[in-house]
Amino acid sequence: MSELLFFSLLNGIVTGLLLFMLASGLTLIFSMMGVLNFAHASFYMLGAYFAYTISLYVGFWLGLILAPLLVGVLGALVERYGLRYVHRWGHVAELIFTFGLAFLIEEVVQFIWGKETKAYHEPEILQFSLFTFFGQDFPAYKAFMLLVSIAIFIVLLLILTRSRIGLIIQAAITHPNMTAMLGHNVPLVFMGVFGVGCALAGLAGVIAGPALGTFPGMAVVLGSIVFVIVVVGGLGSLTGAFVASLLIGLLQTFAIALDYSVSDLLAVLNISVDAESALRDLWALSLPQVAPILPYLLLVLILIFRPTGLFGKRET
Amino acid sequence: MTDTTHLNGGEATAPLVKRLGPWIGLAALLVVLPMIFSTNSAIYTMNLMGIFVVFALSYNMLLGQGGMLSFGHAVYFGLGGFMSMHLVNYIEEEIFVLPIFLVPIFGGLIGLVFGVIIGSFSTRRAGTVFAMISLGIGELMAASSLIFVAFFGGEEGVSGDRTMGPNILGVDFAQDIEVYYLIAAWAFVTILLMYLFSRTPMGRMANAVRDNEERAEFIGYSQRKVRFISFCASGFFAGIAGGLFAINFEIVTEENLNAMTSGVVLLMAYIGGVGFFIGPIIGAVVFTLLQTLLSNYTEIWQLYVGVLFVLTVMYVPQGLTGILAMHGPAFRMQRLGILVVPYIRAGLPTALMLCGIIGFLEMIHHLRAAAVGETGMSLAGIEFDTHAVMPWVVVVLMGSVGAFLTKTQMPQLREAWDQANAPLASDKGVTS
Amino acid sequence: MTSAIALKGVVKSFGPTQIIRGVDLDIRQGERHAIIGPNGAGKSTLFHLISGRYTLTGGSVHLKGEEISNLPPYEIYRKGLSRSFQVTNLFPQMSVFENVRCGLMWVKNYRYSFWHLVDRERDLNRRVMEVLEEIGLANRQHVPAGVLTYAEQRALEIGIAAAGGADVIMLDEPTAGMSHSETDQAISLIRKVTEGRTLVMVEHDMGVVFDLADRISVLVYGEIIATDTPENIRNNKAVQEAYLGAEAEHA
């Protein structure tokens, strides 16, 4: 039991920090520009694909650096020539634009790289087991993911709290109009934040690609989850995004690890059920089975009972 | 998003012909269509079209009429479909006796029930909160549908047999053409009902809440209740579309209530134009045509649809109907003739450019996707070798020459446009 | 006779800041009552409190003897209080005609009906045309409200507020930003549409106030310092000091 807990905890943290890399960019973009970027996870996917293609020629490590930069530039271009143009049609159009972009990017990825999963692997020096605990291996690559995520988290924290640009960004989050008055080039800051947010998503894609698979559906798999995180944590709250990322990461790994079903619960309560009834699926329902719906259940409940999210100050 | 297609209030007593004309025309069109396009694939396409028209219109009750952006509208379509499929199976087992053609109303009631349940909390706020709840509910339902296998049938879905119901007037829906008329009849009735709904006090207030939810409260209406009623009505019509889907395809799967279908309906409504009642109709027709026709000729049709969608959002937020409506003033002033020649002059090079771009994309796709060693491809009846240089030169030339010529033709088009739309001295302030 | 609107110890705070600091006010039925005061005195806030846009921090509001504290705006409207907004607040994509019609639907008892067709309701549409004639927008009825000129939007704003025939009408700076001739037109429009009803208005233009009002209340820093007839207000020392003094500070 304790090894199960240990590994679930570790895996949950790895997943959670990875999710935070996506969620932090998304929540920054939302709080500054008021745009929930549906295509955010698509940039994550692009990161993985770019890194895959780059790694074919110059290896994993250059891909790790170049791919996020490329994605960031692409994101900045999308903001400059897409989003800023659509802005004139209003908020709904912006949302729909990013929604269409997500659709389009998936099609483009299939067009360029095909539908099948790409053989994008971790570099050989990371293909070993870091340690073995209660007979279970912990791969070095996971530790690497953990390290990169933590490093990014610390850098982000430092930039936001210590640097001038970080202060401007924080000001822009809380008082978007005031910042313009203070003479800062808000459109440029927007473009920068959008680009950096996308680059972060791209980086997450680069390191997640080998572990979770590089395929055209990878954006969809993560896209809605990241939305859940941002809303549950509270729109515009980085702290909230961090807590919610870990929460969702742990929730998912633990739900998969703990194989209990409703009938187990009913057995504890001494209720017996008819195995042939139409509701049999309900009784047989186990935690790993419901794992995929838990985040969405959380999202809906949060939106109903606490629309500001866990840490948010303003309603969506 | 103006309501230019509606009769405005002052014209309450428009002549009978003018009011009923479009409806008689629509009915006649629906009757005649399968006689003109009588192949099996045409009937198939038109059936799908009818279903999507109802679905897209029901979606626009939210987005266009009520200002609610939903990312989970497939839930009501899909649940209506699943329940209808189960009902068809019960009818087959003679647990219920009900003519098949009434099944869609049952699907509608299911959509309504779920609309009431989900709307009771999701319509509290509009804007992003509503959009996010709809997304969450959509994902929740899609994920649940794979868990509750007994009801949703898992990956295979639920299938049934529509021909086993009580036989009325010798119609057993074994033929697709019979289903066509069933769908056409339902489509006609629901289009009419949805149009009439938009002309009721409730429908007008839905627009008012869309425009300014706060002010609506200061003229006596609860914005939440207005949204709730719109939402329920929308769920009802989406459920009817789901019921029609179940009858037509005799199978309903998880795909019918997942995010993809929710996205498709948004796409259809938006491409058609959410600011107009007929927008989603046009959108659904165009989308179905793209889907069924284009997919016969190219494997990358979804790429084209994606490009079309993004371009629409960026440059024509009023949708295809918006483009048509832009010609209204010129049409009323009987000046459309001025535009014909400029359109041809700009249109031909544009077509050339598009041919070049499409050829280029198709060739890349062929290079990547074709079997190893297979170098010949055929495009628009022309056979050529994608590994040779010449075809690439040709498409690049077509694209760039087309683009250049299009650009040279733009000033004359703009000039003609201004000329055609120059206001008459008598009416100022009419916006295009 | 019960007062049209009675405020008892009304308090409103935003966070730690008290904006309205205990207001008692009686507005008699049938009178034209103006609320004046320097910028930032809380006039608009007071309007929002009465009409249900803001919730009260303390005290109570009564409409014709019935308590309406903290009811949602639509409930208050249904009890016979209608208002306009300082910042034009219309249905921009709908036609002028539709704007007025929406303002009439509840009082004409259509409620949330989806079984009447608005175009066939002759009485309703006739009344809409009457209102449009009154506010001088009959020839602009098909134009979307969003493209009207500023003065036209202000007139429509008043039209929507008054269309429903509420007993109490509150107008928030109806002549703000208008030229002289436009202001004169607005005054006669206000006179016309509020005939026989109670009017409460916030107004900066003293010409309009002294022209229209039967009684005036002066609000300074969240407190009413005087309520009286125009002449008495003009001669009130405290008002002159507080009000003009405060104005001078602002300038």
The secondary structure of B136-178, three-state, reads: HHHHHHHHHHHHCHHHHCHHHCEECCHHHCCCECCECCCCHHH
pTM for the complete prediction? 0.90
Indicate whether A202 belongs to any domain: yes
Query: Is the CB of residue B308 less than 8 Å away from at least one CB of chain A?
Result: no
- B431/C73 touch (CB, cutoff 8 Å), yes or no: no
ipTM of the complex model: 0.92
Rounded to whole angstroms, how far apart are CA atoms B414 and B407? Answer: 11
Asked whether residue B254 falls in the same domain as residue B402, the answer is no
Q: Highest mean pLDDT: which of A234-248, C91-105, C168-182?
A: C91-105
pLDDT at B385 exceeding the cut of 60: yes
B63 contact residues in A (CB cutoff 8 A): 92
Mind giving me the DSSP string for B227-257? HHHHHHHHHHHHHHHHHHHHHHHSEE-GGGG
Number of structural domains found in chain B: 2
* CATH assignment at residue C150: 3.40.50.300
- B200/C142 touch (CB, cutoff 8 Å), yes or no: no
Query: Is the CB of residue B118 less than 8 Å away from at least one CB of chain A?
Result: no
Residues C91, B204 contacting (CB under 8 angstroms): no
Asked whether residue B192 falls in the same domain as residue B282, the answer is yes
Rounded to whole angstroms, how far apart are CA atoms B372 and A166? Answer: 52
Residues C90, C109 contacting (CB under 8 angstroms): no
> What count of other Cβ atoms lies within 10 Å of the Cβ of residue B427?
10
Contacts by residues A303-308 (CB-CB < 8 Å, ≥ 24 positions apart): A303/A231, A303/B129, A303/B132, A303/B133, A303/B136, A304/B121, A304/B133, A307/B125, A307/B129, A308/A234, A308/A235
Nearest to B199 among C102, C117, C141 (CB): C117
Q: Collapsing DSSP states into helix, strand and coil, what is residue A36?
A: coil
Chains C and A touch (3+ CB pairs under 8 A): no
DSSP B379: E
Indicate whether B105 belongs to any domain: yes
pLDDT at A315 exceeding the cut of 60: no
Residues C218, C36 contacting (CB under 8 angstroms): yes
- B364/A111 touch (CB, cutoff 8 Å), yes or no: yes
Chains C and B touch (3+ CB pairs under 8 A): yes
Please report the residues numbered 260 through 289 in chain B whose beta carbons come closer than 8 angstroms to any beta carbon of chain A: 263, 266-267, 270
Tens digits of per-residue pLDDT, B274-331? 999 999 999 999 999 988 888 888 888 889 989 989 999 999 889 999 999 888 888 8
Contacts by residues A300-303 (CB-CB < 8 Å, ≥ 24 positions apart): A300/B133, A300/B136, A300/B137, A300/B140, A302/A231, A302/A232, A303/A231, A303/B129, A303/B132, A303/B133, A303/B136
Rounded to whole angstroms, how far apart are CA atoms C124 and A46? Answer: 58
Indicate whether B127 belongs to any domain: yes
- A107/B135 touch (CB, cutoff 8 Å), yes or no: no
B205 contact residues in C (CB cutoff 8 A): 102, 105, 112
Asked whether residue B282 falls in the same domain as residue B345, the answer is no
B227 Cα to chain C: minimum distance (Å): 11
Residues C157, C84 contacting (CB under 8 angstroms): yes
Asked whether residue B61 falls in the same domain as residue B37, the answer is yes
Given this model, what pLDDT does residue A193 score? 87
Asked whether residue B301 falls in the same domain as residue B334, the answer is no
Q: Which range marks the domain in which residue C96 is found?
A: 5-250
**Farthest-apart Cα atoms in chain C, separation:** 60
Tens digits of per-residue pLDDT, B98-150? 888 999 999 999 999 999 999 999 998 888 889 888 998 999 998 888 888 88
Residues B402, B355 contacting (CB under 8 angstroms): yes
For residue C35, which of C209, C239, C232, C167 has the smallest C-alpha distance?
C209
B372 contact residues in A (CB cutoff 8 A): none
Rounded to whole angstroms, how far apart are CA atoms B192 and B197? Answer: 8
Nearest to C105 among B8, B197, B205 (CB): B205
Query: Is the CB of residue B18 less than 8 Å away from at least one CB of chain C?
Result: no
N-to-C CA span, chain C: 42
Region of poorest pLDDT, from A73-87, B8-22, B31-45, B279-293: B8-22
Residues B232, B237, B239: CA angle, nearest 5 degrees: 90
Indicate whether A302 belongs to any domain: no
Please report the residues numbered 147 through 206 in chain B whose beta carbons come closer than 8 angstroms to any beta carbon of chain C: 196-197, 199-205
Asked whether residue B193 falls in the same domain as residue B240, the answer is yes
For residue A212, which of A9, A8, A19, A7 has the smallest C-alpha distance?
A19
Asked whether residue B305 falls in the same domain as residue B340, the answer is no
Rounded to whole angstroms, how far apart are CA atoms C251 and C248? Answer: 5
A114 contact residues in B (CB cutoff 8 A): 368-369
Indicate whether A271 belongs to any domain: no
C171 Cα to chain B: minimum distance (Å): 13
pLDDT at A113 exceeding the cut of 60: yes
Query: Is the CB of residue C127 less than 8 Å away from at least one CB of chain B?
Result: no
Indicate whether A228 belongs to any domain: no
For residue B253, which of B154, B353, B114 has the smallest C-alpha distance?
B154
Chains B and A touch (3+ CB pairs under 8 A): yes
Indicate whether B1 belongs to any domain: no
Q: Name all chains with 3 or more CB-CB pairs below 8 Å to chain C.
A: B
A134 Cα to chain B: minimum distance (Å): 33
Indicate whether B99 belongs to any domain: yes
Asked whether residue B297 falls in the same domain as residue B261, the answer is yes
Residue C129 burial class via C-beta count within 10 angstroms: exposed 0-12, middle 13-18, buried 19 and up: middle
B207 contact residues in C (CB cutoff 8 A): 91, 93-94, 98
**Cα C124 to the center of its chain, rounded Å:** 24
Number of structural domains found in chain A: 1
Q: Highest mean pLDDT: which of B175-184, B220-229, C31-40?
A: B220-229
Indicate whether B140 belongs to any domain: yes
Asked whether residue B281 falls in the same domain as residue B135, the answer is yes
Rounded to whole angstroms, how far apart are CA atoms B277 and B3? Answer: 8
Q: Which range marks the domain in which residue B43 is found?
A: 17-317
The two three-digit tokens of residue C107, written as one number: 């009082």
- Whether the CA torsion B167, B170, B174, B178 is positive or negative: it is negative
Nearest to B303 among A36, A82, A107 (CB): A107
pLDDT at A1 exceeding the cut of 70: no
Tens digits of per-residue pLDDT, C1-59? 689 999 999 999 998 889 999 999 999 999 999 999 888 889 999 999 999 999 999 99
A163 Cα to chain B: minimum distance (Å): 31
**Cα A192 to the center of its chain, rounded Å:** 20
For residue C147, which of A65, B43, B432, B341 has the smallest C-alpha distance?
B432
What's chain A's Rg over C-alpha atoms? Answer: 21
Indicate whether A309 belongs to any domain: no
Given this model, what pLDDT does residue B428 score? 47
The two three-digit tokens of residue B47, written as one number: 């059936």
* Residue in the block written with tokens 């003609």: B416
Q: Give whole-number Cα distances, C188 to A158, C103, C161, C174, in Å.
A: 63, 21, 16, 12
Q: Could you say which of B256, B287, B317 is where a domain stops?
A: B317
The pLDDT of B207-218, averaged and rounded, is 94
Q: Could you say which of B317, B339, B374 is where a domain stops?
A: B317
Query: Is the CB of residue B300 less than 8 Å away from at least one CB of chain A?
Result: yes
> What count of other Cβ atoms lies within 10 Å of the Cβ of residue B82?
26
Predicted confidence band at A280 (pLDDT cuts at 50, 70, 90)? Answer: low
Query: Is the CB of residue B137 less than 8 Å away from at least one CB of chain A?
Result: yes
Asked whether residue B309 falls in the same domain as residue B344, the answer is no
Tens digits of per-residue pLDDT, C53-92? 999 999 999 999 999 999 999 999 999 999 999 888 999 9
Rounded to whole angstroms, how far apart are CA atoms B87 and A306? Answer: 38
Number of structural domains found in chain C: 1
Tens digits of per-residue pLDDT, A216-262? 888 888 888 898 898 888 877 788 888 999 999 998 888 877 777 77
Q: CA of A83: which chain B residue's CA is closest?
A: B314
Length of chain C: 251
Tens digits of per-residue pLDDT, C188-237? 999 988 888 999 999 888 888 988 999 999 998 899 999 999 999 888 88
Nearest to B204 among C52, C93, C118 (CB): C118
B204 contact residues in C (CB cutoff 8 A): 98, 101-102, 105, 118
The fraction of chain A above a pLDDT of 90, given in percent, is 21
Given this model, what pLDDT does residue A283 score? 67
Q: Which range marks the domain in which residue A32 is found?
A: 2-216
For residue B194, which of B284, B129, B118, B261 has the smallest C-alpha distance?
B284
- B310/A231 touch (CB, cutoff 8 Å), yes or no: no
Given this model, what pLDDT does residue C247 score? 52
pLDDT at B52 exceeding the cut of 90: yes
